[in-house]
Amino acid sequence: MYHYSAVQKTLEIGRVKIGGQPGLTPTVLIGSVFYSKDKLVQDPKKGTVQRSKVEEAIEQLSKISDATGLPSMLDVVGATPDAMKQYISLLSDITEMPLLIDGSGSNEVNLAGLKRASELGIMERVVLNSIVPETDPSILEEMHGLGLKNAVVLAFDSESMASSKKRLRIAEELLNRSLTIGIQNIMIDTGVVDMLTLGIACKALRDTKDKLGFPVGCGAHNAVNTWVGLVPKFGREARDVALAGSSLMPVVLGADFVLYGPIRHAPIVFPSIAMIDTALSGVFLEEGIRPDRQHPRFRIG
């Protein structure tokens, strides 16, 4: 269905494979934990959480991941260095999912999380989220010195808001900068702010995947989060439909991963995308190509 100019790279982060040919490699879904106002968090500055409820939430996420055949990663959001260290320690103990360290732009928070991950010996399944145009090369050097091998590059800035071509240019620049330092496993996020930029992000991810070959995706849920008139005009039930729709769009257009927001949305997003992955795999029937037995095609029937 998709024929790309560049050889497509399939990365291994922890036990998760990401990237390659849409329809053959399952889409990786990335859900957020410990974000602002997450009810699992008791003290966002200290990183105090309700462990039993976290374990229950992760267990439910693991079950739906296994049932659909879609790999799961966690975007770990921390407000302070202390909080991030606590979160990484806890999650490393209760799950083997890859962990994205997301200090929301704070180098201090990101470094604290990476240092803790290095101490715990789990750097092979830790991903920095994210490298942006403003990231200082010296910070990247320090992070790589801690053993950082995996990172998301965010191909987005104020000038690329309405331009997929500028996002591709940023992706190339950040990719080259990361590879030069020694960060090898790169996931490219083409940036979503609202509904209009979701369309541009999807065009950008197709062009980026075609030219660079690295795994691409975006935070599609932002299109729903910023839709002010959604609930007032269409009711609360419309949010679930919109969330599923926003997450499906990049997958249909070739995304290798999707950030879908809080993990509580997993029961909505996982079955929907498993259906699309299964449908995309059907395109290869004519060529006699089948995905492996772990693919959603063999799980959801």
Give pLDDT tens digits for 105-124: 999 999 999 999 999 999 99
Higher pLDDT, 155 or 2: 155
**Band of residue 301 on the pLDDT scale cut at 50, 70, 90:** confident
Rounded to 5 degrees, φ, ψ at 53 are: -75, -35
The residue-averaged pLDDT of 238-264 equals 97
Q: Is 132 contained in some domain?
A: yes
DSSP, collapsed to helix, strand or coil, labels residue 186 as strand
pLDDT in the model for residue 1: 66
Residue 223 has pLDDT above 80, yes or no: yes
Q: Is 270 contained in some domain?
A: yes
Query: Residue 216 maps to which CATH number?
Result: 3.20.20.20
Closest CA to 293 of 96, 69, 73, 72: 69
Number of domains the chain is built from: 1
Residue 179 has pLDDT above 90, yes or no: yes
Q: Is 126 contained in some domain?
A: yes
pLDDT of 135-157, one tens digit each?
999 999 999 999 999 999 999 99
CA distance 217 to 202: 8
CA distance 161 to 157: 7
Q: Is 196 contained in some domain?
A: yes
- What's the pTM value of the predicted model, to 2 decimals? 0.97
Q: Is 6 contained in some domain?
A: no
Q: Is 230 contained in some domain?
A: yes
Closest CA to 87 of 106, 72, 103: 103
Q: Which two tokens stand for residue 18?
A: 């990401």
What sections of 146-265 are H helices per DSSP?
A: 164-181, 195-212, 222-225, 230-234, 237-252
pLDDT in the model for residue 80: 98
Q: What percent of the chain has pLDDT over 90?
A: 97
Q: Is 69 contained in some domain?
A: yes
Q: What is the domain range of residue 154? A: 11-298
Q: Is 59 contained in some domain?
A: yes
Write the CB contacts of 215 (distance below 8 Å, at least 6 apart in sequence).
Answer: 9, 11, 18, 19, 28, 186, 187, 188, 209, 256, 257
Q: What percent of the chain has pLDDT over 70?
A: 100
**Band of residue 251 on the pLDDT scale cut at 50, 70, 90:** very high
The residue-averaged pLDDT of 82-91 equals 98
Residue 2 has pLDDT above 80, yes or no: no
